[in-house]
């Protein structure tokens, strides 16, 4: 798989328009992509068990993108082989009155993954420099003071993520780059399917109507928060099977970069295990302690 067009270097222009939403990343077909993803999921399952056993690091996966970009599908398909006991998924939409009474990073900071666990944010604190910004612009409230607010929030986010990384959390950020036409088609498909209407909200249409404003906000946000410690991955999302394979490959590569051995037991633990085994075997010495 060719991922050279997925990650851009910190400090380079981050306009999503520079990245093709229909890019295949070297994948020839949907079938090839699904086979690759299934193989990666098997490897991911094994490595995640070791990762959970070692409890040395945490992984935070941040998924951002326009409505219908495929965030839910990424979680469903890429994480299908992961032990659910080791994964925490949190979605962030309109904040509650309690959340609004705190700083803009508060609600996400409460649910960060523990060491040995993978946390997934379906939307995140980045909404506070995207949705909030576009809504202000739509109301004609954007100005010098507001523009300064976004820059300050970029700085706060960068510092927050740097703190996480320094403390042992690996931050993986994915922007699912969907085209306006593909989003239109997916929203129409939801509206035409009674069983999919539960996924549609008025906010979906608002997002589509303010497409250009959101793209500008995303462009500035990606450029302002693409750091060496927490870089963005621009994932082509017009083909769902490409997006899922790309995210799966990057998550797998991350775990492959970590120690791949189970934690070694010390002499005390080995002796204790032997003592417990002898006690259990003594309950019925005529029968083996494991079934054939």
Query: Which residues partner with 234 through β-bridges?
Result: 175
How many helices (DSSP H) and strands (DSSP E) are in the chain?
A: 11, 5
Tokens of 140: 């004609």
pLDDT of amino acid 198: 73
CA 185 vs CA 24, 54, 98, 177, 238: distances in Å = 19, 44, 36, 15, 10
Packing angle, helices 211-224 and 202-209, rounded to 10: 80
Are the C-beta atoms of residues 225 and 125 closer than 8 Å to each other?
A: no
The closest of 152, 121, 130 to 110, measured between CA atoms, is 121
**What phi, psi does 77 have (nearest 5°)?**
-90, -45
Model-level pTM greater than 0.75? yes
The closest of 110, 120, 114 to 51, measured between CA atoms, is 114
pLDDT digits (tens, 9 = 90+) for 184-238: 999 998 888 877 777 767 677 778 889 999 999 999 999 999 999 999 999 999 9
Contacts of 123 (CB under 8 A, 6+ apart): 63, 64, 71, 91, 92, 93
* Ramachandran bin of 263, using left for φ above 0, alpha for ψ from -120 to 50, beta for the remaining angles: beta
pLDDT of amino acid 57: 97
Distance between CA atoms of 281 and 286, rounded to whole angstroms?
A: 9
pLDDT of amino acid 117: 97
Distance between CA atoms of 80 and 277, rounded to whole angstroms?
A: 35
The closest of 87, 82, 106, 86 to 96, measured between CA atoms, is 106
Query: Which residues partner with 214 through β-bridges?
Result: none
Look-up of token digits 């793209």: 215
CATH of domain 16-264: 3.40.50.300
Between the CA atoms of 248, 253, 259 and 265, what dihedral angle is there, to the nearest 10 degrees?
Answer: 10
Distance between CA atoms of 251 and 172, rounded to whole angstroms?
A: 8
pLDDT of amino acid 8: 66
pLDDT of amino acid 149: 83
pLDDT of amino acid 142: 47
Per run of 10 residues, the mean pLDDT along the chain (length 292 residues) is 74 75 94 95 95 97 96 93 90 89 95 97 95 73 64 96 98 97 93 76 78 93 93 96 96 96 90 89 72 53
Look-up of token digits 């002499």: 267
Distance between CA atoms of 107 and 95, rounded to whole angstroms?
A: 9
Tokens of 141: 């409230």
């Amino acid at each position: 798989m060719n991922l050279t067009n997925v990650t851009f270097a910190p400090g380079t222009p981050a306009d999503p328009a520079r990245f093709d939403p229909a890019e295949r990343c070297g994948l020839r077909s949907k079938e090839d992509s699904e086979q690759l993803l299934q193989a990666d999921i098997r490897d991911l399952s094994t490595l995640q068990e070791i990762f959970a056993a070692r409890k040395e690091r945490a992984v935070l996966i941040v998924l951002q993108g326009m409505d219908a970009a495929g965030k839910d599908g990424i979680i469903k398909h890429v994480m299908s082989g992961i032990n659910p006991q080791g994964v925490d998924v949190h979605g962030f939409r309109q904040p509650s009155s309690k959340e609004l009474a705190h700083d803009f990073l508060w609600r996400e900071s409460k649910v960060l993954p523990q060491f040995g666990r993978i946390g997934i944010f379906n939307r995140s604190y980045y909404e506070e420099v995207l949705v909030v910004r576009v809504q202000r612009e739509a109301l004609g409230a954007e100005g010098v003071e507001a523009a300064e607010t976004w820059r300050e929030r970029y700085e706060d986010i960068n510092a927050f993520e740097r703190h996480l990384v320094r403390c042992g959390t690996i931050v993986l950020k994915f922007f699912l780059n969907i085209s306006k036409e593909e989003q239109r088609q997916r929203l129409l498909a939801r509206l035409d399917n009674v069983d999919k209407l539960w996924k549609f909200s008025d906010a979906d249409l608002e997002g589509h109507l303010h497409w250009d404003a959101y793209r500008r906000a995303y462009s500035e946000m990606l450029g302002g928060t693409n750091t060496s410690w927490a870089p963005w991955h621009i994932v082509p999302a017009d083909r769902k099977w490409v997006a899922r394979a790309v995210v799966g490959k990057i998550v797998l590569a991350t775990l492959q970069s970590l120690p791949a051995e189970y934690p070694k037991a010390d002499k005390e633990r080995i002796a204790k295990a032997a003592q417990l085994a002898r006690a259990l075997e003594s309950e019925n010495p005529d029968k083996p302690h494991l079934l054939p």
